[in-house]
């Protein structure tokens, strides 16, 4: 029997909302915690009239003057500083043109070496729509998100297309492992883009953020259903786990699977199916060593849910309903962090079923929930 539970305590918070804007996809934008209570989240925003389905089209929102921005909280996510909104780029269309210019010249600007072990440093990537071709871009902050450098092209020899999200783990010995998706030139020549349009989940490594190398694929080619949106975490015993979004047989029939590596990311094995439905998912190692998986629930009743594992993702506890008041499947893409007092802060995009403005759901805005786990 499928059992559900609710948080012991739960507070929903508006992070960023404007009635004439669409704001979305924190999973693609990133979440970084600097110190105990300084939190920065990235997302895409754009003007939106909410009069037609074209207005809320993801292609229009991202490509036609879609801005990549960050916003900050200094109290663990309870309040958000609207006047400290930072624009990382003004237009995705302009960014794509710039990357194509670099590719044409075969000239790729690089950052100064990055110390990924610094608590002031974070890496952001161009939030993907899933239809881009060519290299993607990455950005770096060395001052806790107050300023951002970039764009720097993430171009890997042999690969035509890279789609990246700021899903990475830092190793004090070897630098950073960035979990992305990619399509090689030879795969495109064989028509493989029609099988996995965003490419297979894979890992890139870099010691200094200047040069990047391919490490491994997480899955073999030709899956029954494409897997995208990798989200990694390192278990207390050193094993690496990664959550993958499975694009099932239908637009909103998606679920989350977990894969495990016991050799530093070289090889991977299937571990578990986390849920019936819900993706993409974000993983978080709790201070007690357990594994939290949080995801958008994009079938009715729409909302945000989570599960916790005490054995590294082999089995999962009851599904936690964080909220179920969403107005459509156009929500989710969460990131999460554990606060100093043990509460969980998760940030996602949302639309309310009770909103007076309705266009395949209510106003799309960035929301947060601070909650206490029920088990």
Percent of the chain scoring above 90 in pLDDT: 87
Instruction: Render pLDDT for 37-95 as a digit per residue (tens, 0 to 9).
Output: 999 999 999 999 999 999 999 999 998 889 999 999 999 999 999 999 999 999 999 99
What mean pLDDT is predicted for residues 208-221?
95
Assign 219 a pLDDT band (cuts: 50, 70, 90).
very high
**4-371 architecture in CATH?**
6 Propeller (2.120)
**DSSP one-letter code for 318:** P
Is pLDDT above 90 for 124? yes
pLDDT value at residue 106: 87
Among 115, 120, 119, 127, CA closest to 42: 127
Instruction: Render pLDDT for 159-206 as a digit per residue (tens, 0 to 9).
Output: 999 999 999 999 877 789 999 999 999 988 888 887 788 899 999 999
Whole-angstrom distance, CA of residue 366 vs CA of residue 41: 10
Q: What is the DSSP string of 197-228?
A: TT-EEEEEEESSSSS-EEEEESS-SS-SS-EE
- How much is the CA Rg of the chain, to the nearest whole Å? 19
Which residues, 6+ apart, have CB-to-CB distance to 241 below 8 Å? Answer: 232, 233, 234, 235, 258, 259, 260, 261, 271, 283, 291, 312, 313
Q: Are strands 175-184 and 200-206 parallel, antiparallel or unpaired?
A: antiparallel
Given a contact cutoff of 8 angstroms between Cβ atoms, the answer to whether 205 and 212 are in contact is yes
Helices (H), the chain: 26-29, 58-63, 92-105, 185-189
Is pLDDT above 90 for 34? yes
Kindly state the tokens that stand for 179. Answer: 């979990």
pLDDT value at residue 222: 82
Number of C-beta neighbours around residue 355 at 10 A: 17
Which uninterrupted H or E stretch holds 272? strand 269-273
What mean pLDDT is predicted for residues 222-232?
93
Which uninterrupted H or E stretch holds 258? strand 254-261
Burial 196-223 (b: 16+ CB within 10 A, else e): bbbbbbbbbbbbebeebebebebbeeee
What mean pLDDT is predicted for residues 273-278?
98
CA distances from 355 to 32, 135, 172, 327 (A): 30, 39, 47, 8
First vs last C-alpha separation in the chain? 18
Please identify which residue in the block is written with the tokens 């071709």: 133
What mean pLDDT is predicted for residues 136-161?
96
Which residues, 6+ apart, have CB-to-CB distance to 213 below 8 Å? Answer: 156, 204, 205, 206
Q: Are strands 38-47 and 31-34 parallel, antiparallel or unpaired?
A: antiparallel
Whole-angstrom distance, CA of residue 139 vs CA of residue 162: 15
Is pLDDT above 70 for 369? yes
pLDDT value at residue 1: 67
Number of C-beta neighbours around residue 251 at 10 A: 9
Among 164, 158, 160, 161, CA closest to 176: 164
Whole-angstrom distance, CA of residue 68 vs CA of residue 89: 5
Whole-number mean pLDDT of the chain? 95
pLDDT value at residue 45: 98
More confident residue, 333 or 64: 333
Is pLDDT above 90 for 107? no
**DSSP one-letter code for 66:** P
SS3 156: coil
**DSSP one-letter code for 316:** -
Given a contact cutoff of 8 angstroms between Cβ atoms, the answer to whether 38 and 73 are in contact is yes
pTM of the predicted structure, to 2 decimals? 0.96
pLDDT value at residue 64: 83
């Amino acid at each position: 029997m499928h059992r559900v539970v609710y948080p012991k305590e739960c507070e929903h918070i508006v992070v960023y909302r404007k009635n004439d804007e669409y704001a979305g996809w924190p999973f693609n934008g990133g979440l970084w915690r600097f110190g105990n209570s300084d939190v920065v989240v990235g997302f895409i925003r754009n003007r939106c009239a909410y009069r037609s389905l074209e207005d809320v089209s993801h292609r229009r929102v991202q490509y036609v003057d879609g801005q990549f921005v960050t916003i900050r909280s200094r109290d663990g996510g309870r309040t958000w500083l609207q006047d400290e909104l930072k624009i990382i780029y003004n237009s995705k269309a302009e960014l794509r043109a710039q990357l194509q210019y670099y590719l044409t010249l075969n000239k790729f600007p690089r950052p100064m070496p990055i110390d990924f072990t610094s608590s002031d440093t974070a890496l952001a990537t161009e939030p993907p729509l899933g239809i881009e071709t060519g290299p993607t871009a990455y950005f770096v902050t060395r001052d806790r998100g107050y300023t951002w450098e970039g764009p720097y092209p993430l171009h890997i020899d042999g690969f035509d297309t890279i789609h990246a999200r700021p899903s990475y783990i830092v190793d004090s010995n070897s630098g950073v492992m960035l979990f992305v998706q990619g399509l090689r030139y030879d795969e495109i020549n064989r028509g493989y883009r029609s099988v996995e349009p965003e490419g297979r989940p894979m890992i890139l490594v870099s010691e200094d953020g200047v040069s990047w190398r391919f490490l491994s694929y997480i899955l073999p080619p030709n899956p029954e259903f494409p897997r995208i949106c990798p989200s990694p975490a390192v278990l207390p015993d050193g094993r690496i786990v990664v959550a993958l979004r499975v694009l099932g047989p239908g637009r909103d029939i998606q679920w989350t699977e977990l894969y495990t590596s016991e050799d530093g990311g070289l090889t991977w094995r299937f571990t578990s199916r986390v849920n019936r439905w819900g993706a993409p998912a974000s993983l978080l190692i709790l201070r007690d060593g357990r594994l939290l998986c949080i995801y958008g629930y994009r079938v009715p009743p729409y909302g945000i849910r989570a599960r916790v594992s005490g054995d590294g993702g082999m089995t999962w506890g009851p599904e936690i309903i964080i909220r179920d008041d969403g107005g459509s499947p156009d929500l989710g893409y969460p990131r999460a962090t554990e606060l100093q007092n043990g509460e969980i802060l998760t940030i996602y995009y949302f639309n309310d079923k009770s909103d007076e403005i309705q266009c395949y759901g209510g106003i799309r805005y960035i929301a947060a929930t601070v909650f206490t786990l029920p088990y």
